[in-house]
Structure 1
Amino acid sequence: MPAPVPAPVAERSPRRDRDLVRNGLPVEPDTSQPLPKRLLRTPLAWLTFLLLVGYAVCLVLLYRQVVPDQQVPGGVLPGLGREAVPIAARYALVTAVPLSLLFLWADRFRPQRFWVWLMTFGWGACVATYVAAQINTWAASHLSIIGDGDPATGARAAIFVAPFVEEAAKATVLFWLAILMRYAWVSRLSGIVLAGLSGAAFAFVENILYYGRAYRYAARTIGAVSPEQALHQVFVLRGLLTFFGHPLFTSMTGIGLAVGMRSKSKTVRVVAPLAGFCCAALLHMAFNTAASLLSGRQQLLVFLFVAVPLVLGFVGFVVRQLLLQGRLVRTRLGDYVRVGWLEPGDPVPLSRLRTRLRALWHALFRGPATFLATIRLQRAVTELAYLRDSMDRGLVDATGHRRERVLLARTRTVRPLAVVEPVGAADYPWKRLRRRRTAEVAGYAPPAFPGPAGLGGSFPAVPPSAAAPLGQTATRYSEVDPTWKPPGQQ
């Protein structure tokens, strides 16, 4: 006899809500209030609005700084030009879109909410690029030894300033998210995905600047290659060969931050994020050093024997983390199976990404209600597994039992309608139509002598009881009445 699922806590109080917030646990919204009123009282809604305004301001300021020509003492500093920005943006999207989709694909067990992805990408594209541009320009002007014409100024800034400034600018949003929503950082994959999105967004805007400068320089220089050829050369170098740079570097900070947040040790919580940031800055410095001081064959050797193995190792690390997260979810759901709060067959299908995806595919063809129930079931059991892991690690105190009861009640509510383990092929519309037609044909009587019956038959069907027998059984005898006598006899 399975144990009854504990009922969710119905009563609410400011003290209980404070306990949830102190542990980083989400507070269930008050559904009795209208949606606009709930949004106006949500701090994240106001934070999102302020961040979007800040992103727009930074983007406009960066545009005014780099696109139009600037008047400087002694002449005019050419900008990118309005005609070069759309062309460069199209080339930059070729790298940014697939890279961002890959990071979102990796965030599959416990995907973040859309606004988190949007805020992270916007920070890397708008705030990080604007802040890094200001600090790098200021630092480069102070690193000049022989004046404004010092050719080594750019290399010094790229090696000694840009790595620390850019990595700090990209990683700031990670620390903000860790403070605001530490409960959602459930694994190293969480740090990799968010850091990768910030790095991909930063690389997107930076590539626009590099592509636009190459296009504008070729267009204004007599005897140089055509603007399209110059743009294509820079695109091959930055967009195809070294596209992994910024996301890879920032992911080191994300991994260190995730390690610190999933640890109970205060020392690890401080050292791990700092170690991740230092690793990101050192990798960035090594990359810029190779790009600034090496050329030709040397750069090719560094790319083949250093960069490519590093990227392959990073991809292997992500795949291994996916497998480990599936094992963790399966193990923690098994705890609830042993106490009778989940079905014995739930942990395996709900911990395999391929099975979960197939379940969503099957539910999609069973109607919107089944599809939404499947999504809610998968999200509820995944959060339940990570909540149990956090409680086992000591990251969440006894307040987690309240959230646990809410998730178990939600699982019990949506499970009868959801698809847990898909079997066979999905219920496609043409299959339903075929079954309907088969049922209609099956409604006709079976064919009988002397001709076919049903659809297309030339004779109506004859019931088997009224069909004429054939052969020796054709002769029929009437039943004998034992009381019959000739007329007139008594």
Structure 2
Amino acid sequence: MHVAASNEPDLRDRRLRSALRRNNLPLARGEDLSPPMRMLTSPWFWALLLMIALQFYCLRAAYFDVVPDRQVPGGMLIGMGTEALKPAATFAAYTVIPLSLLILWADRFRPHNFLVWLVTFGWGGTVAVFVSLRINTWAATLMSVVGDGNPAAAARPAVYIAPFVEEAAKGSVLFLIALFLRYRWVSKLSGIVLAGLSAAAFAFVENIFYYGQAYRAAARTTGAADPEEVLASYFVQRGVLTFFAHPLFTILIGIGLAISLRSKSKVVRIMAPLVGFLGAALLHMLFNGTVSMGFPPQVLLILLLAVAYPMVIALVVFIVKQLFAERTLIRSRLTDYARMGWLPESDAHWVSRLTTRVRVLWQALWEGRPISTWRMQRTLTELAYLRDAMARGLVDDAGLVREKQLLLRARRLRERAIVEPRPKTSYPWQRLRARKTETWAPPAYPGPAGLAGSYPALPVGQPSQAGYSAPQGVPLGSGATTYSPVDPRWKPPSP
């Protein structure tokens, strides 16, 4: 089953290029260029370099704001200290590594590019931290002056300022991705993963600051507990019991943006991100307020078990339901192409199953075709989501151009990719063993191997490959060997 057209659309047409840009569809240009030239001519490469430079600047500025001791008007501002940086970062990594892997696990059907993940994670750990640190410090200074030294004023920035500032800083990268890469934002899972990565990176750097300050305070205080014990205690509180806090808040922004991008209603497009942001800030405010009110540890544990953990469980259930919903969407949209005769009917079944996709990739790895198989899966998945966007009215007739490109690419990849799983995985050592078996000599008559044959005898009257046949009456088995009579007069020749 093939596509009727054989040539891809001419992307040199200015109107066609404008229509693709209007719908945020990829131009698919530069495929005839070498990878280095394709990278250097891509505007996204230079945007990535600019983003990395910005993140390094913010990380350096945040480091000098928090880590070293600084001379300020009126005295010395004690930082967390360089000696506390390594143990604090180690304990913070114990949380962020498994949390990030768990978040990425949800991005299964249409995962973003690795560089998008990297930029999102870097933004949350550098730019969002830098902006939040500066604005929260400035707001805390103002509230301290207004409060005239009132100790209760110290909790005001954490409750009334930090939630809005931090959620806006973490979520700003989501709005940038939605603005420039909205075509790749295909489901609520996309928003959940990107928001979770930004929040996990933010929590990672924030935990380093908290762990480091507690470590150095214990080390500089006479008679205080061991710094390692203090660090372990803080790790249990922030890295184990409340590790979910920042991702849980920011994911609401990601879900709101996802709803906005997949809707035609202008009201929904405006209200969904706003409601998501306000919901994230409200949850953050309630969390900070609960911690700042000085409840006993037993009360805080009850609140976690009764309120926070059920919300986390509900989020996990929501993610699992979304995975099944995306599976149904891909199967139904690819079935549309199968009914038109442009794709085999089996594609809709196999590509929509996560376990089958992993199994096919595993088999392709051992057969030397993992890249083409992976590209085939991504092409068919993108085709399904493009069809869904066209059915929703999110993409106009320019989507037909991208649709044709994807169908042609799938036809080219089908020759060297694996779409359907094999009945059994073929490992290299099994193929080598099969080749060795095929090189063995076939049975031949007469005699054992090495003496004009490799088999003792044939059934009566059955010819061998060499043309011999067993005579009538020759028995099989050990009795098949007969000896000719010996002449008693025979002797060696005389000298």
Provide the aligned C-alpha RMSD in A.
2.1
Contact 1:5 1:408 in 2 (8 A): no
* Other-structure match for 1:387: 386
TM-score by length of 2: 0.90
Counterpart CA distance in 2 for 1:470 and 1:69 is 106
Cα offset for 1:36?
Answer: 4.0
Alignment partners' CA distance in 1, 2:110 and 2:381: 7
The 5 Å alignment of 1:255-404 reads 255-293=255-293, 294-367=295-368, 370-404=369-403
Equivalent residue letter for 1:176: L
List aligned pairs for 1:159-170, cutoff 5 A. 159-170=159-170
1:470 Cα offset (Å): 5.6
Shift of 1:144: 1.8
Paired residues of 1:144 and 1:152 also in contact (CA < 8 A): no
Q: List aligned pairs for 1:128-207, cutoff 5 A.
A: 128-144=128-144, 149-207=149-207
Corresponding position of 1:31: 31
* 1:15-164 to 2 correspondences below 5 Å: 15-144=15-144, 149-164=149-164
Q: Which moved more, 1:392-401 or 1:288-297?
A: 288-297
Deviation at 1:411, TM superposition (A): 0.6
What is the distance in 1 between the residues matched to 2:445 and 2:153?
Answer: 98
Letter in 1 for 2:409: R
Query: Are residues 8 and 117 of structure 1, via their aligned partners in 2, closer, same or farther at CA, if it must alter by over 3 Å?
Result: farther
TM-score (ref. length: structure 1): 0.91
Q: CA deviation at 1:198?
A: 0.3
Q: Deviations over 1:383-424 (max 9, x none)?
A: 100001000110000010000000000011111221112133
TM-aligned CA deviation for residue 56 of structure 1: 0.6
SS in 2 for 1:152: helix
Identity of aligned residues (%): 52
- CA deviation profile, 1:39-91 (whole Å, cap 9, x unmatched): 33322111111111111111111111111112234432211111111111111
- Once the two structures are TM-superposed, the CA of residue 461 in structure 1 deviates from its matched residue by 4.7
SS at match of 1:76: strand
Q: Deviations over 1:85-123 (max 9, x none)?
A: 111111111111111111212111111111111110110
1:446 Cα shift? 2.1
Task: Check 1:145–1:425 CA distance in 2 against 1; reply closer, same or farther (3 A cut).
Answer: same
Distance 1:3 1:357, change over 3 A: closer
- Equivalent of 2:449, from 443, 453, 469? 453
Give the distance between the partners of 2:79 and 2:433, measured in 1 at CA: 64
Aligned letter for 1:469? Answer: P
**Residues 212 and 148 (structure 1), Cα distance of their counterparts in 2 relative to 1, 3 Å cut:** farther
Deviations 1:175-198 (A, max 9, x none): 011110110010000100100000
Distance 2:414 2:399 in 1: 22
Query: Please, which runs of 5 or more residues in structure 2 have no aligned partner?
Result: 457-462, 477-495
The CA distance in 2 between the partners of 1:141 and 1:256, in whole Å, is 33
Please say if residues 445 and 453 of structure 1, whose CA atoms lie closer than 8 Å, have aligned partners that are also in contact. no
Partner of 1:466: 468
Gaps of 5+ in 1: 475-490
**How far 1:363 moved relative to its partner?**
0.3
Cα distance in 1 between the residues matched to 2:325 and 2:443: 58
Whole-Å Cα distance in 2 between the matches of residues 83 and 233 of structure 1?
Answer: 19
